[in-house]
Homo-oligomer: A and B are copies of this chain.
Amino acid sequence: MATINDVCKLAGVSKATVSRVLNNTGQVKKSTADAVYHAMDTLGYKPNSLARALATNCTNTLGLVVSAFEGAYFSCLMRTASETSAGAGKQLLIMDGGHSAESEELAINSLVERKVDAIILYTRKMPAATLKPLMEKLPVPLIVINQMVDGFEERCICFDQYKAACQATEFLIAKAHRNIACISGPEDSVNSSLRLQGFKDSLATHQLDHCGIYHGDYYTESGYRACQALLNSGQSFSALFTANDNMAMGAIRALHEAGIKVPEEVSVMGFDNDPAGPFLIPSLSSVMLPVEAMAQAAVEQTLLLLKGEKISAIALFSGSLIVRESVDQPQKPS
């Protein structure tokens, strides 16, 4: 690999000059600049990013911590973040944050050691209390998706999970459902708790009680099992609210195997608006989260921060109800 020194010699100038034309910094006579350019491409010279990073203390790399590589939700997050940062000349280093607050922190530290310029954390498990000191002490800026931290509002990108869950539940109630069960996410997940709370509060508003709450882990299989448990409990219900589309799919399968028709006998409401939703049979009603917009906002906010521009807090993102076949009115009023 040709280095800057090789270019120097061939062009008959000093390293400083080569560096100048390389970075368009300072004045260089056109003729010498041309000589340098010429030397560069006869040698096929590419600047060594490591050396450059060492000298400038900037790697042009952003770190992203996700909770999983699985699922349309994170795929979209990763793709958008990757594209957005690539568009700004930054690489994206993606790490799995695993299933606990500890592993999320581990991923962050690993990114810090890799000298990324900033870290975007999609957190599922870190409470604001843990996050705050981290944001204060970390040698690089930390931008958080999915959790609001006092005093760092402009570094937090959040979705109004609670309101969205309310919307979905209200919709079921508006459809005249009175017996609604729920398959929620992990009990220690931030999102999941908010969605569950929205569900509960909406029911309470209408003086309704739930017909059972079961917890899954966001994977399809867990929705399937949870629904089986629900069915075995003997509780009767005409609608089911699930904390994501995958679990909804599992639940629908369990209902199908139990000979229960969706939506005729039981309506099912998903969450996340998985791209598979419209193609399922029945197609799945869900809540659309603007994942793309959020990912993009996160990266752009990060870039601004890095540029030293002053940034302001971003408004809570909100979802919208996507009505499809899986939700209908109950056949017989209960």
Contacts and interface: CB of A to CB of B under 8 A. Distances in A.
Q: Label chain A's interface by main secondary structure.
A: helix
A69 interface: yes
Nearest to A81: B69
A97 to B, nearest CB: 12
A94 interface: yes
Nearest to A1: B139
Nearest to A275: B220
A175 interface: no
A208 interface: no
Interface string A276-311: 101111010000000000000000000000000000
Interface in A179-232: 220-221, 224
The size bracket of the interface on A is: 35 or more
Interface centre among A50, A113, A221 (most CB of B within 10 A): A50
Given A75-B70, A79-B70, A50 B115 contact: yes
A16 interface: no
Interface string A45-79: 01011110110000100000000111110111011
Interface string A136-150: 000100000000000
A153 interface: no
A252 interface: yes
Given A70-B72, A249-B279, A252-B281, 19 more contacts: A1-B139, A46-B113, A49-B113, A50-B53, A50-B59, A50-B115, A68-B75, A69-B75, A69-B78, A70-B75, A91-B114, A93-B93, A94-B94, A221-B279, A224-B279, A249-B276, A253-B279, A256-B281, A281-B281
26 contacts: A1-B139, A48-B54, A49-B114, A50-B59, A69-B75, A69-B78, A70-B72, A70-B75, A70-B76, A70-B79, A71-B75, A74-B75, A75-B75, A82-B96, A91-B93, A220-B279, A221-B279, A224-B279, A250-B279, A253-B278, A253-B279, A253-B281, A253-B283, A256-B281, A280-B280, A280-B281
